[in-house]
Amino acid sequence: ELKVEQNPLFLSMQEGKNYTIYCNYSTTSDRLYWYRQDPGKSLESLFVLLSNGAVKQEGRLMASLDTKARLSTLHITAAVHDLSATYFCAVDSGGGADGLTFGKGTHLIIQP
Amino acid sequence: KAGVTQTPRYLIKTRGQQVTLSCSPISGHRSVSWYQQTPGQGLQFLFEYFSETQRNKGNFPGRFSGRQFSNSRSEMNVSTLELGDSALYLCASSFGVEETQYFGPGTRLLVL
């Protein structure tokens, strides 16, 4: 059974600081996704990572994937208040037939 | 391009009733997946449909069922509702079975 663990689950940080969210998964995966969810809202797709060593960046967010370590990171650079949200990583174990397995999410609060 | 739409957005039912939720995918998308989100269990995969065929189902009882129509629209049905079925039900669509899933706004179901 595929398991996805995120840490930390809660993170409060100040604007301007850097931080990293970690996502570990238990079995070989075809692809890994990062999503953002604002309170009371749906999930917004941020990144899809398809291969070992993949790195994607959008604004102050950068995601990377190490398939050998079964680890993905989401790095936040010089955080701003607008990045406050819950961030989920999700793993597709293969073929898409089993759906996405999500981590429990990291609730990020960025204080001015 | 219009996003994934779900109806209704909010629903209140009583125990023992049944409910049908609807999802219209992004135009051109043929794969539709359903997820349940609760504070306790997080995001869990319900089922996925592609070209009117259910490809797989998550670990949910038979009270949860779904279908997909020829225009890719999908419905899910929950019979004999229980209090624990209160959740946000999210529909996601993708072009193919191994493509990025785009989520709708969700249907928030409250069972009293």
B2 to A63, B27, B63, B94, B103: CA distances (angstroms)? 27, 7, 31, 13, 12
**Which residues of chain B make contact with A31, given a CB cutoff of 8 A?**
98
> In degrees rounded to 5, what are phi and psi of residue A40?
75, 10
User: Does B3 touch chain A if contact means CB atoms closer than 8 Å?
Assistant: no
Per-residue model confidence (pLDDT) at position B63:
97
Number of A–B residue contacts, CB under 8 Å: 62
* C-alpha–C-alpha distance, residues B4 and A73, integer Å: 28
User: Does B95 touch chain A if contact means CB atoms closer than 8 Å?
Assistant: no
Mean pLDDT of B22-38: 96
A71-93 pLDDT tens trace = 999 999 999 999 999 999 999 87
Chain A residue closest in CA terms to B101: A45
- The continuous run of DSSP H or E covering A106 comes out as strand A106-111
DSSP letters for A64-104: EEETTTTEEEEEE-S--GGG-EEEEEEEE-STTTT-EEEP-
Does B1 have pLDDT greater than 70? no
How far A28 CA sits from the closest chain B CA (Å)? 15
Give the A-side interface with B, CB within 8 Å. Answer: 30-31, 33, 35, 41-45, 48, 88, 90, 92, 95-105
* C-alpha–C-alpha distance, residues B87 and B83, integer Å: 10
pLDDT, greater one: B98 or B67: B67
User: Does B90 touch chain A if contact means CB atoms closer than 8 Å?
Assistant: yes
* Nearest CB neighbour to A42, from listed B45, B46, B104: B104
* DSSP-derived secondary structure letter, B25: P
Q: Mind listing the pLDDT tens digit of every residue in chain A (112 residues)?
A: 889 999 999 999 999 999 999 999 998 877 899 999 999 889 999 999 988 888 999 999 999 999 999 999 999 999 999 999 999 999 987 655 578 899 999 999 999 8
pLDDT, greater one: B82 or A1: B82
